[in-house]
Every structure is written in structure tokens, then in C-alpha cells.
Amino acid sequence: MIGDSITDCGRSWPVGEGIRGLGEGYVALVANELAAACPDLRIRVLNMGISGDTARDLQRRWQQDVLALKTDWLSVMIGVNDAWRQFDSPFNTECQVYLDEYTSILQRLIASTLPSLSGLVLMTPFFVESDRRNPMRVKVEAYADVVRRLAREHQTVLVDTQAAFDELMVSRRPAELAWDRVHPTPAGHRALARAFMRALE
């Protein structure tokens, strides 16, 4: 499972693995659910998230952190930093990954990796904000739309994380699910894990 800080969540280095090594987020929760739901499969889960990563960063480390591991299944969630850097670092254009580059990178990584996989899970980026007109929400939604489209094109498993959070925000305040609207609380990570398991089912 590869991604940014939402995936990383304090995992061990160089490879996040084992009871304590998977971090404290949705990756560990998914691993526990898989172990309980299908113990006979002896599924080994690896956490390769790195805080602050964008799609460009994933591309740089893809050979080492994905292809070299020769995994059967791969889960990817990336995109919120690609959008966020345009808000928190507006004058540092070098760190910004715009939508066209984001799309081409994901398309290239998927096309080059999919033939060697038994399955691919694509997770949309999300922004835990109930106001759909919020500029950051609008921007992240555009990146999420790319992931949805690529999942359809390549017939992968799709985890629509934004839809999962939208469902919860009917009854819960955004801060209960992600303290800064990006990094999930324990309840937010559980929501991600539940959405992941539903998609796999």
C-alpha cells in the first residue's frame, strides 16, 4: 500500500511491516481486517507511504518501492499534496504537480505495473470539507475524478474515499474525521479502512 502521509502514518522504515510496523492508520486496520476475514490466505501487507509525497515522488521511487517488491496486489492513494501545494506553497511552483502531469504519471505507472499484478486498488484523494464550493475541495475533487476515470479504464478496484467521508459528514463534523481536513483522526482512518474492505468485497 503506497501513498503519502495518510498512508505512512508512522510506519517503520525502510519497509512498513508487522504489528507495529504498519503505522497507526488505515493500512494497519485493513491488515487486521484481512487477517480476521481470511486467515487461510496469510496475506502479508506492506506499508510504503511517505509523508509529503506527490505523484511525482511516487514515480521517482516506483522501481524500488513497488516493482522490486514483486507484490501480488497494489493499493495506491496519492493526490492531496499535488493539490495542496497549490494552496500552501503558491509561489513555489517547483513542488506543485498540476492535473495534466498527475494524470500522465498515474496513467504511466498503472500501465507499466498492471500486467504484473493480480489486482490493483486505486483510492481517490479526499478533502474532508462539507462545503463542496470550497476551493481546496473543488481542486481535490478534480484529482479524484482522474482516479475514478483511470479505475474505470483499467478495470481496477476503486475506493472512493471522498464518497465515504461525504456519507459520514451528514452526521459528523469534518474535524471529527480529519483534524485539518486532510489527515484523518482515528475515526477517519477507520472510515478509510471500511471503504477499502467494502470495495474489495
183 is catalytic: yes
180 is catalytic: yes
- Residues 136 and 95: beta-carbon distance below 8 Å: no
Helix, strand, or coil here: 70?
A: coil
Instruction: Enter the C-alpha cell of residue 156.
Output: 481496477
Owner of C-alpha cell 521517482: 60
Q: Which of 4, 5, 8, 82 is catalytic?
A: 5
Which of the 8 DSSP states describes residue 75?
E
Burial of 182 by CB count in 10 Å (0-12 exposed, 13-18 middle, 19+ buried)? buried
5 is catalytic: yes
Q: How far, in Å, CA of 114 to CA of 23, rounded?
A: 26
Q: Which of 72, 130, 180, 189 is catalytic?
A: 180
The DSSP element (H or E) to which 121 belongs, if any, is strand 119-123
Q: Which of 51, 130, 166, 183 is catalytic?
A: 183
- Annotated active-site positions, please? 5, 180, 183
